[in-house]
Amino acid sequence: METLENKMRIGILGGGQLAMMMIQMSAKHNIDFIVVDPSDNPPASKYAQCIKSDYNDKDSLDRLINECDIVTIDFENVPSEALKYLENKISVYPSSYAVEICQDRLKEKKIFNKHNIPTTEFHTVNSISDLSLAISILGTDSILKSRRLGYDGKNQITINKYSAEEAWLLSGEAEAILEKKVDFKTELSIIGVCPKSSETIFYPLVENFHRDGILNLSIAPYNNTKLQKLAESYHNKITKELNYTGVLVIEFFLDKSGSLIANEMAPRVHNSGHWTNEGANISQFEAHVMAIADINIKNISINGNSAMLNIISKMPENILINNNYKLYDYGKSERLNRKLGHITVNNNDKKDLMKDVEKISKSVF
Ligand code: ADP
Ligand code: MG
């Protein structure tokens, strides 16, 4: 029998649904987890011991240093100082360097461009005069996005609804970028797993549909060999520069001319990869844990076609779930535009899958 002493222990900063599923989905590896989260009873606290504290709390970080082998994150807005403090003593994946870039839309866009990965045109905005000038160049079909702390479409202002002055005030005058709206055909994401000591393994491209800036539906695989290769090559350039270990996801627009335009990236498991729990032999959550724990991942393969529908704002009352569907309830209280759970669907036949998706959308939402 394994003793506590030789059992690997992973600390997770953030105890949301992503941490929860990392713990649930890697149960067979016999790894202990400790979660740090400032909120009361976050989703992961059901499955692991949870330290309720700020991410910067030195006592909590020291506990992770003393009790864990590795630390990872479940959301990218953890203070990078906390990661730097941990990094001096213990392995942290992803590194503070990678997280600092992904926390900042300007740095993210610059790293894409440095590697000749196309992005939409953008301008840095630090003042009302920057914003007026940027609008005069890009036009009003553009979006003001705060450089930091944006998620689920938050901290974004569509310019064509407001004057420059109104938009600047609404933005809280925070450092931002103005970017040109992309008239896209669809949105895609590439999920890559970077093991500690071998080449990146990719899931197939996922097609994503957003509503009001929030992911609503993901469908996988998006079969296109050329785009798959291109997305993988972009991912490889970024993770090489970041010396990355673990799962990293890049979100793209596919524009009307068929080009991939990088939108943003996440240094973590991602909502567009939730289908992998049922749709792949190894889920993104287990793969992330295996990658950072240096457990060999032989291969990743998928089963048929999968879809994932997010449950947002309100938990449906009468969910009829059958064997084709799986419901995840994060146990969170209801709040407007909050992600409360999701449903995954798996079907060998794409047409049948889409019928299932329609049925669920009608009956549940
Ligand atoms: P978040 O961090 O909130 O996910 P995103 O930049 O990914 O921020 O924006 C959320 C969604 O808003 C995108 O997935 C897309 O649907 C829409 N969006 C964002 N930027 C643009 C853009 N430049 N052109 C068109 N749609 C956009
Ligand atoms: Mg996004």
Atom 27 of ligand 1: nearest residue by CA position: 181
Distance CA 305, CA 303 (A): 7
Averaged pLDDT score across all residues of the chain:
95
Which atom of ligand 1 is the closest one to the Cα of 181? 24
Does residue 151's CB lie within 6 angstroms of at least one atom of ligand 1?
A: yes
The confidence band for 254, taking pLDDT boundaries of 50, 70 and 90, is very high
**pLDDT value at 2 more than 70:** no
Mutate to test the pocket of ligand 1, among 142, 263, 268 (most ligand atoms within 8 A of CB): 263
How many angstroms separate the alpha carbon of residue 212 from the centre of ligand 1?
A: 9
Overall residue count recorded for the chain in this entry: 365
Which atom of ligand 1 is the closest one to the Cα of 154? 3
Strands 9-13 and 32-37: parallel
Which atom of ligand 1 is the closest one to the Cα of 215? 14
Predicted confidence (pLDDT) per residue in 91-112, tens digit: 999 999 999 999 999 999 999 9
Nearest CA-CA partner of 268 in 11, 50, 22: 22
Which of 71-85, 298-312, 314-328, 329-343 has the least mean pLDDT? 314-328
Q: Model pTM?
A: 0.96
Burial of 107 (0-12, 13-18, 19+ CB in 10 A): middle
**pLDDT value at 177 more than 50:** yes
- Half-sphere exposure of residue 226, counting CA atoms within 13 Å on the CB side? 4
How many angstroms separate the alpha carbon of residue 102 from the centre of ligand 1?
A: 15
- No. of helices (H) and no. of strands (E), the chain: 11, 18
Which of 161-170, 216-225, 241-250, 266-275 has the least mean pLDDT? 161-170
**pLDDT value at 3 more than 80:** no
Select the more confidently predicted residue: 152 or 276: 276
Cα-based torsion angle of the residue sequence 59, 64, 65, 71 in order, rounded to the nearest 10 degrees: -140
How many angstroms separate the alpha carbon of residue 75 from the centre of ligand 1?
A: 18
**pLDDT value at 321 more than 80:** no
Which atom of ligand 1 is the closest one to the Cα of 142? 23
Atom 19 of ligand 1: nearest residue by CA position: 213
Which domains does the chain possess?
Answer: 4-92 (3.40.50.20), 121-180 (3.30.1490.20), 184-364 (3.30.470.20)
Does residue 120's CB lie within 6 angstroms of at least one atom of ligand 1?
A: yes
Mutate to test the pocket of ligand 1, among 154, 210, 260 (most ligand atoms within 8 A of CB): 210
Predicted confidence (pLDDT) per residue in 41-55, tens digit: 999 999 999 999 999
Identify the pLDDT of residue 78.
Answer: 95
Strands 142-146 and 156-158: antiparallel
Spatial neighbors of 210 by CB under 8 A, at least 6 apart, are 153, 187, 216
Atom 17 of ligand 1: nearest residue by CA position: 213
